């Protein structure tokens, strides 16, 4: 008997979309337009280039790119030839990328050469010092024993900027790919199994180090269910400003478009004014984001009103108190949204509301379990299920749970129990109407503008400063970003570091969203009887001191 949802692979999607939607427009980026046929052809050209470079099945390929058409070409191409895609957060800096390259055993790094105010090439020079005069398709770096190739995308360098003549440019890789036969590409595509690892998303964990979340091709079912729930058709137009390296943008942009035939309008980054212009000009119908995105667009709309009547719906994760007011205002001023709950470990939309859910459900809950998912809320101390309406730790079970954390069996076993339940570390409750409500984190993880920030990672970095004896990082409410990091520092003996000095110590080495917004000094930390820092008291102290 066939499965009710036949398995397929991500690499097959562009060709399938080309057959189903052919000459319909698939993508618009900065005035350029691609049909589904043209987009599929570009994916195949990229795949042949990767084959020509010698990338083998199972090899890890890091994609450190901003939103651009080549990201879409490469994300499908990498997976199509049986390699494993690793989208790298473009807000990460050398310290973070260094860890990802090493921990993932990546053989290939494809990066921006230069983009706006961020010179990725300068960071590459820092990561890969002493660039060898070697074949650019077969570089060797002692600090990265698995790294064999570095490819650069982007415009020609500006006068006075760093330039890396030894690195291979993407146009040259494409020219090499012209020699690769279509038969080899078909063979490699046919050898990929839906159960193979397709991509690894790195997300901060509770151990102080990022964890690589491994997924197979089951995301196709996950996205298809959401397309059906939101009634997305080829008549829809998706505005995608969310970063494609993030699980949210990765699924809701390229994957939804390929599976539904909807047109995707892609932007390099989020800019409220630009988004409003595109909604009006391109008649956008679908738009997703976090509350801070919708807040900024509503403020921009108040300054300069555009015609936004084409907007139909989108995803706006709700449940936390600080998102409720923005969610309700969005319903009035932009469009009705659906709320959702998800995480890298279980996919977007594990919880999802309906188009006809009440406004209260869409603005104050995180939706119902999506098809194929189950939720429990337990007392984290006893492991027993909590009654309806009583908060506890959210547990998730379903077909799209991660395969595990890459090369972290201990952390994987701690996250997924013997019965297949993912222990999220998030606080929530199950409501009488059956909806889940996400309320925050039991663990100390911060959520800064939709990005996970592990306090232990920031603490570890600050401890490298000579003026710091000990440090504890907690969250502080922020109107725009939800929360920001605050560092409580015990100075080293005889030292009194300047707060700005500690903040500057982080700049350029860890992602900007991880850098503490405030630094407060203490003589000692409040401690539990078991010797742990009472971060609840530190949060209260931050509220008192910063407001004062």
In angstroms, how far apart are the furthest CA atoms of the chain? Answer: 74
CA distance linking residue 382 with residue 378, whole number of Å: 8
Q: Which residues pair with 121 in a beta bridge?
A: none
Coil, strand or helix at 149: strand
367: tokens are 């939706």
Q: What is the DSSP letter of 91?
A: T
Looking at residue 118, what is its pLDDT? Answer: 62
Coil, strand or helix at 364: helix
Confirm if 517 and 476 have CB atoms less than 8 A apart.
Answer: yes
Please report which confidence band the pLDDT of residue 131 belongs to, taking 50, 70 and 90 as the band edges. low
395 or 496, higher pLDDT: 395
Per-residue H/E/C for 176-236: HHCCCCHHHHHHHHHCCCCCCCCEEEEEECCCCCEEEEEECCCHHHHHHHHHHHHCCCCCC
331: tokens are 């319903």
The number of helix segments (H) and strand segments (E) in the chain equals 18, 25
**If you average pLDDT over residues 85-92, what whole number do you get?**
90
User: Mind listing the pLDDT tens digit for each residue in 141-173?
Assistant: 778 889 988 888 865 555 444 444 446 788 888
Cα separation of the two ends of the chain:
67
User: Mind listing the pLDDT tens digit for each residue in 243-254?
Assistant: 999 999 999 999
Ramachandran sector of residue 531 (left: φ over 0; alpha: ψ -120 to 50; beta: rest): left
Q: Which residues pair with 100 in a beta bridge?
A: none
128: tokens are 């890969």
User: Mind listing the pLDDT tens digit for each residue in 441-493?
Assistant: 776 778 888 887 878 778 878 888 888 888 999 999 988 888 999 999 989 87
User: How many Cβ atoms sit within 10 Å of the Cβ of residue 303?
Assistant: 9
CA 192 to chain centroid: 24
Looking at residue 536, what is its pLDDT? Answer: 80
Coil, strand or helix at 293: helix
121: tokens are 């090439």
Q: Which residues pair with 373 in a beta bridge?
A: 398
User: Mind listing the pLDDT tens digit for each residue in 402-435?
Assistant: 999 999 999 999 999 999 999 998 889 999 999 9
């Amino acid at each position: 008997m066939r499965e009710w949802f036949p398995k397929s692979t991500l690499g097959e999607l562009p060709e399938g979309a080309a057959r189903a939607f052919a000459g319909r427009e698939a993508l618009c980026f900065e005035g350029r337009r691609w049909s589904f046929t043209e987009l599929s052809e570009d994916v195949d050209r990229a795949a042949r280039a990767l084959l020509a470079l010698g990338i083998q099945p199972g090899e890890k390929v890091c994609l450190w790119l901003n939103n651009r058409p080549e990201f879409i070409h490469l994300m499908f191409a990498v997976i199509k030839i049986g390699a494993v895609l690793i989208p790298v957060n473009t807000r990460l800096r050398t310290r973070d990328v260094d860890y990802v390259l090493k921990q993932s055993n990546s053989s290939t790094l494809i990066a921006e050469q230069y983009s706006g105010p961020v010179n990725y090439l300068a960071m590459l020079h820092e990561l890969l010092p002493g660039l060898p005069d070697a074949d650019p398709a077969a570089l060797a770096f002692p600090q990265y024993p698995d790294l064999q190739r570095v490819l650069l995308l982007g415009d020609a360098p500006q006068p006075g900027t760093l330039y890396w003549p030894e690195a291979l440019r993407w146009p040259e890789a494409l020219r090499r790919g012209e020699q690769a036969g279509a038969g080899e590409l078909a063979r490699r595509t046919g050898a990929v199994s839906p159960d193979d690892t397709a991509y690894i998303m790195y997300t901060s964990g509770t151990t102080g180090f990022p964890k690589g979340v491994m997924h197979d091709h089951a995301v196709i079912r996950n996205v298809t269910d959401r397309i059906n729930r939101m009634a997305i058709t080829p008549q829809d137009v998706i505005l995608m400003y969310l970063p494609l390296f993030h699980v949210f943008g990765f699924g809701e942009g390229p994957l939804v478009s390929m599976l539904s035939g909807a047109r995707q309008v892609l932007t390099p980054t989020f800019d409220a004014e630009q988004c409003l212009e595109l909604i009006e000009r391109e008649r956008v119908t679908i738009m997703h984001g976090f509350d801070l995105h919708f807040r900024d667009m509503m403020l921009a709309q108040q300054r300069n009103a555009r015609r936004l009547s084409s907007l139909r719906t989108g995803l706006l994760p709700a449940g936390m108190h600080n998102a409720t007011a923005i969610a309700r205002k969005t319903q009035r001023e932009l469009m009705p949204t659906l709320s959702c709950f998800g995480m890298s470990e279980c996919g977007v939309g594990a919880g999802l509301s309906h188009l006809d859910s009440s406004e209260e459900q869409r603005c104050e809950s995180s939706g119902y379990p999506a098809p194929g998912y189950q939720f429990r809320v337990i007392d984290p101390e006893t492991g027993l299920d909590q009654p309806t309406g009583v908060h506890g730790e959210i547990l998730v079970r379903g077909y799209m749970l991660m395969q595990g954390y890459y090369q972290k069996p201990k952390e994987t076993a701690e996250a997924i129990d013997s019965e297949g339940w993912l222990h999220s570390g998030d606080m929530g409750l199950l409501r009488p109407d059956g909806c889940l409500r996400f309320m925050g984190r039991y663990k100390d993880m911060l959520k800064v503008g939709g990005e996970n920030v592990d306090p232990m990672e920031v603490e570890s970095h600050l401890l490298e400063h000579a003026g710091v004896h000990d440090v504890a990082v907690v969250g502080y409410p922020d109107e725009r970003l939800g929360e920001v990091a605050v560092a409580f520092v015990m100075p080293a003996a005889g030292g009194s570091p300047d707060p700005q000095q500690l903040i500057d110590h982080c700049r350029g080495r860890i992602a900007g969203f991880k850098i503490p917004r405030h630094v407060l000094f203490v003589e000692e930390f409040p401690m539990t009887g078991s010797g742990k820092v009472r971060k609840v008291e530190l949060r209260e102290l931050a509220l008192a001191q910063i407001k004062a």
